[in-house]
């Protein structure tokens, strides 16, 4: 079982359309993981296991059938700088704890069912370079983007 490979630092299982079912909670034991690519599969369920992966830098779970909300504990992964959850069935509001993701440069949450108003957390991601939030159910006004200085320099 993969959850027993506690020394594992990278796991690439993307592009396996025959790979289905839920991601086992035992993935939370992969505490040395810094790269997890499970994109382009047919995985379902939630992603609560992620909050245990404190060394994670790259997380790509896009193009699956994952659902639920982004766990509040995700903000505790200070090393995370690439988060890709596009083309799933995630819903709910974005957790305010995401403001703690100070290293985050890429945030791709497009094509889900996130809702509510865009929280100020999105505008507070100071190092963000790539941000995709289209095809969701957001409402209200646009937040101020503190991380948008790079646009002025281009």
Pairing type for strands 113-117 and 65-68 reads unpaired
pLDDT tens by residue, 1-13: 787 899 999 999 9
pLDDT 10s digits, 50-101:
999 999 999 999 999 999 999 999 999 999 999 999 999 999 999 989 989 9
Q: Tens of pLDDT along 8-54?
A: 999 999 999 999 999 999 999 999 999 999 999 999 999 999 999 99
**Cα separation, 133 vs 118, whole angstroms:** 10
State residue 154's pLDDT score: 37
pTM for this one?
A: 0.91
The phi, psi pair for 6, rounded to 5°, reads -70, -15
């Amino acid at each position: 079982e993969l959850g027993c490979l506690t020394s594992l630092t990278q796991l690439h299982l993307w592009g396996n359309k025959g790979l289905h079912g839920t991601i086992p909670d035992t993935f939370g034991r992969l505490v040395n993981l810094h790269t997890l690519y499970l994109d382009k599969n047919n995985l379902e369920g939630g992603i609560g296991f992620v909050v245990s992966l404190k060394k994670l830098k790259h997380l790509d779970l896009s193009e699956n059938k994952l659902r639920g909300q982004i766990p509040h504990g995700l903000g505790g992964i200070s090393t995370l700088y690439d988060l890709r959850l596009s083309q799933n069935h995630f819903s709910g509001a974005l957790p305010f704890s995401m403001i703690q993701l100070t290293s985050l440069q890429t945030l791709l949450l497009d094509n889900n069912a996130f809702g509510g108003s865009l929280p100020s957390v999105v505008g507070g991601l100071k190092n963000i370079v790539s941000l995709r939030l289209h095809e969701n159910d957001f409402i209200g006004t646009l937040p101020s983007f503190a991380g948008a200085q790079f646009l002025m320099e281009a």
